[in-house]
Amino acid sequence: MDSETCGYNEAIENIRDAQYPMLKDSIYLDHAGATVPSKALMDAFASELTSVLYGNPHSGSLPSQLSTDQVDDVRLRLLEFFNADSDEYDLVFVANATAGVKLVLDGLRSIQGGFNYAYHQACHTSLVGGREEARHSICVNDEQVQNWIDGRNPFEDDSTTLFSYTAQSHLDGRRYPMSWGRDFKTARTYTLLDAASLGATSRIDMFHPDFAADFVVLSLYKIFGFPDLGVLLVRKSAEHLFDQRKYFGGGTVDMVVVGREQWHARKTAFLHERLEDGTLPFHNIIAAGIALQTHASLFGSMDQVSRHTAYLTRRLHAGLEKLRHGNGRPVCTLYSPSPESQSTGPVVSFNIRSSLGAWVTLGEFEKLAIVNKIHVRTGGVCSPGGIAAALDLQPWEMKKNFSAGFRCGMDNDIMNGKPVGVIRASLGAMSVKADVDGFLDFIREFFVEVDIPQLPNVSVSDLTGKPSLLVKAITVYPIKSCGGFTVPPGMDWAVRPEGLAWDREWCLLHKGSGQALSQKRYPRMTLLRPTLDFEAGVLRITCKDSLQSVTVPLSADPTLLEKDIRQTKTRVCGEEITAQMYKSVELNNFFSDALGIPCVLARFPPGGRGLGSRLNKAKMQKHQQADTVQRLLPGSFPDDVPSPPDSDSEQTKLKVETKILLSNESPILMIHSASVDALNEAIAQHGGPPAMTSAFRANIVLEGVQGNEDWDKRPAYSEDSWRKVRIGNQTFSLLGACRRCQMVCVDQETGERRQEPLATLSKTRRFNGKIYFGAHMKHDEMSGSSEDVQHPTIRIGEPVVVDG
Ligand SMILES: *Cc1c(COP(=O)(O)O)cnc(C)c1O
């Protein structure tokens, strides 16, 4: 029955006013973090402690006896609260759920030969940490758990194994079967159930025949708001796992001999006697007893709480899902499963997008929430696996974000066009319909855009007109001067201020001089073929000759890199840059052997937008800046044009021009296939072999569309005079023609040097003694709040509009 219809919400509203004065005028939606203690509970606790004298339980005095009796009583009542048979389970008081987990690991750690540890990907960070103590550990998803149940042991040996999972994800409310672990066929496999989130608003029925866990941890403050106390429940058949636990403390031993002979006798009657080291938090335990009582008298049974929160969750989830901007786009991207279709807890996590698809940062959301007295949690919420799955973040991306400076609790939470955290709204026993509706109103008021701004206001490219060309190919050169990686069709490729994503992220440095190596001098570099494998999270480099390959992680793992900054200063195109060298001898030998020269692999610091942190792939010149763009017609080429990206020429000139070279926007190299065709016709006229497009090492190749009158055709070499191009929704400014050297004669397939196409280029494309082919361009950064602004990308096949 709907809890609204039976008047339960109204009853809770009254309780809310009387019992939770601190929630007046505010919306509290962080029950998954901690729920709120009632006035009844705190008053009863104060009255109990100010009228009864309780002493330290470890003695025979009357106050001590009173404490002992209370502790025993509360222990039993809590067992009953979780419907756990006291013949089958023991309950151990711990500081919090995490302390319960640590206690279990305390036992396992001492087992001879160690233990295996599997944890489900939705686990709280507190459970993930257990892997550091295990001999072998794995993170498993639903499918792998099912495989395990079907008889496929994820571990190779059958050592004692602990499987940990959460009964309900604290990230998105998703629930997981209570029976997990029961059907594993592997011997000596034990299950640790984290019920901290589920237990907050649901009845835990440990007597249920499907209930399989050997260990259960819970936080009482999440159920009652107070006391700050946790419990660990241990199935008696698993108690022996603590037999080798080494530590003992006050209260857990019957006798200890110190001095010359060292001996102790542990308490043996109950497990909890052996595990509760030191003085019990007896005041807290007494409070827990009172909490059981007041919670029941305020809210009735846990089943009632569960029904009520489920009703509110459905309302919240549906309300968020329905919100639309004026242009019909959804406002919220929800990560919690629909409570209509799946069993979920009262947790709804989501992110907000603008009417143009840009992510709203958590920092911005949080600031507005705070001023509106809305208490809600944002961020990674201690759920590394859950966050990665919900936000589709690969491990290498998380590490790369970490290396780029992202930390738990930071403001900058949109990285490379993806959010790195969530907004989590969670409900509890004293939540009311008004909380949900007020929260929805807040989002409607601050984040729903009813009047959609017109396109010009959001600075989508103003370059319009007939498309002229298509993007034929996109290539990046992950290692400067080595082979290219061809972007697959259909893949959106990110455009960064410093160029295309992953372009020249790495380079090879000469071991002696520290200079970055160039293909101009070492043509064999083209035989080193890098592949960006996003699935595996690695850059794989294969040597075309030997077919041997090596990999380096895409995440910038600092442990792989040489730390000594002094050694890593290098010079590229005469400019001093800072790079981080890899230490691996094996890796560096691979490159040295392939090229026949001693060299090391280096990487540019992640997120480095600062001066000199990346290669300046070409230099913007004064005359090429937007307002002074000259028409670069053949024959009227200006003297100073950017050097080709892989050239190490022009060193002296750069020194002089430093003032205007301080641009970290390293451009992108573009060529027009009509120009390649025209060049090849000229080469063919005196019987030479045609040049391959790859010889020009372009990032973007544009081509015309044949036989369509709606397209505005652009002849060969017209790119010399273009000012801007628009690819898809992104605009680029042309910076000038690309100056060419003998590097274009390196056959990119074989690494051999030829005569063409430089011979013909020098006859047809030489101006003022310099040879040009192709054009440099840079991305025009936009402002506004659309997806294209937040995460600019280009793709093969996108139409190109040309200005000029
Ligand atoms: C809160 C929570 C924890 C951590 O509980 P502590 O009491 O802080 O140790 C662990 N797991 C889940 C699912 C939680 O919700």
Q: What is the pLDDT of residues 136-188, one digit of tens each?
A: 999 999 999 999 999 888 898 888 999 999 999 999 999 999 999 888 877 88
Q: How far is it, in rounded angstroms, from Cα 539 to Cα 533?
A: 6
Task: Note if 482 is an active site residue.
Answer: no
413-451 residue pLDDT tens? 677 778 888 999 999 999 999 999 999 999 999 999 998
Rg from Cα positions in the chain: 33
Q: SS3 helix, strand, coil % of the chain, rounded to 5?
A: 30, 25, 45
Is residue 1 predicted with pLDDT exceeding 70? Answer: no
Question: Ligand 1 pocket check: which of 123, 382, 387 to mutate, most ligand atoms within 8 Å of Cβ?
Answer: 382
pLDDT for position 590: 95
Contacts of 745 (CB under 8 A, 6+ apart): 695, 753, 754, 755, 756, 757, 758
Q: How far is it, in rounded angstroms, from Cα 331 to Cα 356?
A: 10
74-128 residue pLDDT tens? 999 999 999 999 999 999 999 999 999 999 999 999 888 899 999 999 999 888 8
SS3 285: helix
Q: Give me the half-sphere count of Cα atoms (radius 13 Å) on the Cβ side of residue 454.
A: 2
Residue range 770-788: mean pLDDT, rounded: 85
State whether the beta carbon of 197 lies less than 6 angstroms from ligand 1: yes
The residue ranking higher by pLDDT, 126 or 616, is 126
Q: Are strands 253-257 and 418-419 parallel, antiparallel or unpaired?
A: unpaired
Whole-structure pTM value: 0.77
Centre of ligand 1 from the C-alpha of residue 290, in Å: 22
Q: Which of 703, 677, 704, 693 is nearest to 764 (CA)?
A: 677
pLDDT for position 207: 94
For residue 307, count other CB atoms closer than 10 A to its CB: 18
Q: Are strands 528-533 and 538-543 parallel, antiparallel or unpaired?
A: antiparallel
Q: Which of 55, 39, 34 is nearest to 283 (CA)?
A: 55
For residue 506, count other CB atoms closer than 10 A to its CB: 21
State whether the beta carbon of 96 lies less than 6 angstroms from ligand 1: yes
**Helix axis angle, 8-19 to 39-49, nearest 10°:** 50
Q: What angle do CA 582, 498, 413 make, to 5 degrees?
A: 85
For 361-386, b where at least 16 C-beta lie within 10 A, e where not — what string? Answer: bbeebbeebeeeebbbbbbbbbbbbb
State whether the beta carbon of 123 lies less than 6 angstroms from ligand 1: no
Catalytic residue (choose from 332, 382, 543, 738): 382
Q: How far is it, in rounded angstroms, from Cα 399 to Cα 412?
A: 15
Residue range 610-634: mean pLDDT, rounded: 35
* Pick from 7-11, 550-554, 555-559, 782-786: least confident: 555-559
Contacts of 752 (CB under 8 A, 6+ apart): 523, 746
Long-range pairs for 150-157: beta carbons < 8 A, 24 or more residues apart: 151/185, 153/185, 153/186, 154/118, 155/116, 155/118, 155/186, 157/116
Sheet of strand 793-794: strand arrangement: 499-500, 493-496, 793-794
pLDDT tier, 454 (very low <50, low <70, confident <90, very high otherwise): low
Q: How far is it, in rounded angstroms, from Cα 428 to Cα 171?
A: 15
Q: How far is it, in rounded angstroms, from Cα 624 to Cα 735?
A: 5
Q: How far is it, in rounded angstroms, from Cα 193 to Cα 101?
A: 10
Residue range 234-248: mean pLDDT, rounded: 86
Centre of ligand 1 from the C-alpha of residue 45, in Å: 24
- Preceding omega of 792 cis (within 30 degrees of 0): no
State whether the beta carbon of 166 lies less than 6 angstroms from ligand 1: yes
The token pair that represents 401 in the structure block? 């974000």
State whether the beta carbon of 230 lies less than 6 angstroms from ligand 1: yes
State whether the beta carbon of 169 lies less than 6 angstroms from ligand 1: no
Centre of ligand 1 from the C-alpha of residue 103, in Å: 15
DSSP state of 534: T
Phi, psi dihedrals of residue 773, rounded to the nearest 5°: -160, 125
Please state, in angstroms and as integers, the Cα–Cα distance from residue 346 to each residue in 108, 173, 335, following that order.
Answer: 33, 6, 13
State whether the beta carbon of 377 lies less than 6 angstroms from ligand 1: no
The token pair that represents 540 in the structure block? 């794989």
Centre of ligand 1 from the C-alpha of residue 98, in Å: 6
pLDDT tier, 409 (very low <50, low <70, confident <90, very high otherwise): low
Question: Ligand 1 pocket check: which of 98, 166, 381 to mutate, most ligand atoms within 8 Å of Cβ?
Answer: 98
pLDDT for position 561: 67
Q: Which of 801, 793, 788, 699 is nearest to 472 (CA)?
A: 699
Is residue 799 predicted with pLDDT exceeding 60? Answer: yes
| Average pLDDT of every residue of the chain | 84
Q: Are 540 and 549 in contact (CB under 8 A)?
A: yes
* Pick from 131-140, 455-464, 628-637: least confident: 628-637
